[in-house]
Structure 1
Amino acid sequence: MSNLALSAERPLPDAPRVLLNSGASCVPQHYLQYAQTQCSIEQVALDCAFNDTTLIFAGQDTHGLYIQIGLIGFDTYLPVAAQPNRKIVYGRKWRIDSNVPTSELVQTIFLAIKKAREHEVRELLKIRFEHHISAPFSTHQDARLIAEQAGSLLDNEEPVSLMQFRRQVTALMRNTTYDSSPVHVLNIEQRLSQQILVDISIPGGTSPMLGDTTGTLLTLLLPEPSVNALLFALMDALIAKSDSYVREAFTYLGVHRFSHRLSVEKLSALSVHTRLADKQAPGSFQHQLKQYNFVTDAARVPNVVTPEMAGTIQARLSEFGELAGHYPTFSVQP
């Protein structure tokens, strides 16, 4: 890590050092003060890596610091044959507070990559309806229109037998693709609990956008023999597969920070070991740490500036009685 990133971290005065089992020593992150800048979040972004088609941006604009993900690929709504060049698409900007710990910044980058890919995953499941192609799980669906038409959009499937369900699913999958690949049903069976197991194969397409689905086998668990339940379960499984891919490929400082190959028990032991210093530190430092955490939490308090929002929030808060922690501030009264 460069000095740029380290300059955003400064130990609290008299912060204790912890001797690790490896023989190294450290000042745990909960004893550090943070002052992130554009330079420091850029360095953290450079210390993170995923794959060649994913770009991690760190910047600053009039609204403050941010992280943003760019994906290089093809337009998911156009045939690849009609696109002479790939394009770059950008996810939303993830706002970063200046006092955010570096570990939380790494987690934000990790989450931003997952959500940028999920956006594409939702667009890549396509179904042909009445000679037209639709991406029903796309995040570009009109939320206001769906809310207005909700009564006519509810699922009203009648219960069907397992044999009827098999026929319905077979017909549906003939009109379904994912990331330019056909989707095949390999097996459908009913468990003693009446739940339905569906084995799905996605062999891979000729021009994939994400490129990590070739040879995919998925097993879906449905509460009932329902095509609607199948489609939702399929989308959930595809998102979970994408998230798993990010989890195992993402690195920070060359380490697969979120990989399931890390031992949960050893991570727990390391965390407990670094927290033991809390009880051993002088009382003056414990008081200082408590005050610093209080000020940090206070800096995150939202400010409510409209009567409508103030009325809603105050009404909700009144339902819980007296609360610990910091209440939001109100520039206006309802």
Structure 2
Amino acid sequence: MKPLALNPAAGELTMPGAPTVTLPNGCACVPQHYLQFRHDARSVQSLLADVACDAHSLLFAAEDGGGVYLQVGLIGRENYERGAAARPLKLVYGRKWRIDADTPSSEIVQTAFLAIQKAHEHEVRELLTLRDAASARCSSPLSNHLDLPLMAAFPELTAAEPEPQALDRPLAEAVREWLALCQFAQRPLELLRCEDWGADGAALWVRIGSPPAARAAEGELAHFDGQVLRLQLAQASRVELVFALMDALIHCSNRRIEEAFRFRGFARFSRRNDPARIAQLSRQLRPYARDLQRPEFAAEFQRRNHDTDAGRAPRWPSGELARVNAEKLMPHRHLSGHLPQGYARAVA
């Protein structure tokens, strides 16, 4: 037999008596679900050092009063500066993603992947602009920097007006007019093709045009230049078009990161991987019928799983949130799993 393919790394311990699994390539390993995890900032940093994505996405891990966290930094330019001059580079940071000590190493890497995707989505949302026809001013209506509590207080200020049941002109003509008010990262949007109404609405193909000279000189977001987006409209409206544009832009951004993201050189989320072979490997790594026949190991395995799940149950909240959650839980008197800590006392 070949030596172990994987040895426990920093933050990982093998469960006492954990069995190994022999892989189709002849290597043997202790599967992830037979490991214990005791991660700290240093072990998370070690994992993130093995992540590669692109030259503009940085990963950090540290510890503060709330525990260990990872965070994305992006090297880019000010999205809201839309003048003709070249813009200096800046480093901006995403939110902190908390990491519990018992988080499996795979989940930490997947959290890094999601953090990078969401950081890039944040930028994409700032870059789709809509020009007001009356004032000729532009804004980013689907960014994450809007005043949500204010919008919730006055929903009538943002509600979509009723759309006519049918357009009084060809759909392609209306779409070109609506697209003329939109830009992505100061790039125009051009309708290439329009398949009119069928059972599922209309399909549009929209191309992202070339940036102005200053943006082209910066070279930022060049992967979007000339990109063709496929949009599906459920109804013929400007509102539907803007949301469909955002969906397509986020999809484009996510797909790029799926292919670029590497852990120790492996593109985990690439569509060059075969889901059927991934499923086969997953089954091979879980011979529970074999391993849990050993009473001593089975008891240890089940106890540790129970303790891990119990440790993730949150504390019961107070105030209005407690009332809201209690209303949702009260009809379910016999829930399995771990109820929030303090729930039984709170509703007694």
Q: Give the TM-score of the pair, scaled to structure 1.
A: 0.94
Look up the match of 1:24: 27
Instruction: State the 1:131 CA deviation.
Output: 1.3
Q: Is the 8 A contact 1:196 1:221 kept in 2?
A: yes
Look up the match of 1:325: 337
- In structure 2, C-alpha distance between the alignment counterparts of 1:244 and 1:138, rounded to whole Å: 20
1:159-202 Cα shifts (integer Å, max 9, x gaps): 23273533332122222211221111112221432611111001
Which shows bigger deviation, 144-153 or 112-121? 144-153
Partner residue of 1:201 out of 207, 219, 243:
207
Which shows bigger deviation, 223-232 or 11-20? 223-232
RMSD of aligned alpha carbons: 2.0
Aligned in 2, Cα 1:185/1:6: closer, same or farther, shift over 3 Å?
same
- In structure 1, C-alpha distance between the alignment counterparts of 2:8 and 2:158, rounded to whole Å: 50
Whichever residue aligns with residue 192 of structure 2, its letter is L
- In structure 2, C-alpha distance between the alignment counterparts of 1:46 and 1:211, rounded to whole Å: 26
Instruction: State the 1:58 CA deviation.
Output: 1.1
- In structure 2, C-alpha distance between the alignment counterparts of 1:166 and 1:264, rounded to whole Å: 38
Aligned in 2, Cα 1:162/1:243: closer, same or farther, shift over 3 Å?
farther
Look up the match of 1:38: 41
- In structure 1, C-alpha distance between the alignment counterparts of 2:85 and 2:209, rounded to whole Å: 23
Indicate yes or no: 2:316 matched with 1:304: yes
Indicate yes or no: 2:223 matched with 1:212: yes
Amino-acid identity (%): 35
Count of residues in correspondence between the two structures: 332
Instruction: State the 1:222 CA deviation.
Output: 1.1
Instruction: State the 1:123 CA deviation.
Output: 0.6
Look up the match of 1:270: 281
Structure 1 residue runs without a partner (length 5+): none
Which shows bigger deviation, 157-166 or 246-255? 157-166
SS in 1 for 2:71: strand
- In structure 2, C-alpha distance between the alignment counterparts of 1:80 and 1:60, rounded to whole Å: 39
Q: Give the TM-score of the pair, scaled to structure 2.
A: 0.90
- In structure 2, C-alpha distance between the alignment counterparts of 1:5 and 1:212, rounded to whole Å: 39
Q: Is the 8 A contact 2:78 2:87 kept in 1?
A: no
- In structure 1, C-alpha distance between the alignment counterparts of 2:34 and 2:62, rounded to whole Å: 27
Q: Is the 8 A contact 1:183 1:203 kept in 2?
A: yes
Indicate yes or no: 2:257 matched with 1:246: yes
Q: Is the 8 A contact 1:16 1:277 kept in 2?
A: no
Look up the match of 1:71: 74
SS in 2 for 1:72: strand
Look up the match of 2:108: 105
Instruction: State the 1:284 CA deviation.
Output: 1.7
Look up the match of 1:257: 268
Aligned in 2, Cα 1:52/1:5: closer, same or farther, shift over 3 Å?
farther
Aligned in 2, Cα 1:107/1:307: closer, same or farther, shift over 3 Å?
same
Aligned in 2, Cα 1:223/1:307: closer, same or farther, shift over 3 Å?
closer
Whichever residue aligns with residue 232 of structure 2, its letter is L
- In structure 2, C-alpha distance between the alignment counterparts of 1:243 and 1:193, rounded to whole Å: 28
Look up the match of 2:3: none
Indicate yes or no: 2:38 matched with 1:12: no
Look up the match of 1:190: 196
Q: Is the 8 A contact 2:259 2:269 kept in 1?
A: yes
Which shows bigger deviation, 6-15 or 315-324? 315-324
Aligned in 2, Cα 1:80/1:271: closer, same or farther, shift over 3 Å?
farther
Look up the match of 2:159: 154
Instruction: State the 1:84 CA deviation.
Output: 4.5
- In structure 1, C-alpha distance between the alignment counterparts of 2:141 and 2:88, rounded to whole Å: 26
Instruction: State the 1:267 CA deviation.
Output: 0.6
SS in 1 for 2:18: coil
Whichever residue aligns with residue 129 of structure 2, its letter is K
Structure 2 residue runs without a partner (length 5+): 1-5
- In structure 2, C-alpha distance between the alignment counterparts of 1:170 and 1:60, rounded to whole Å: 51
Whichever residue aligns with residue 254 of structure 1, its letter is G
Look up the match of 1:131: 136
Aligned in 2, Cα 1:28/1:34: closer, same or farther, shift over 3 Å?
same
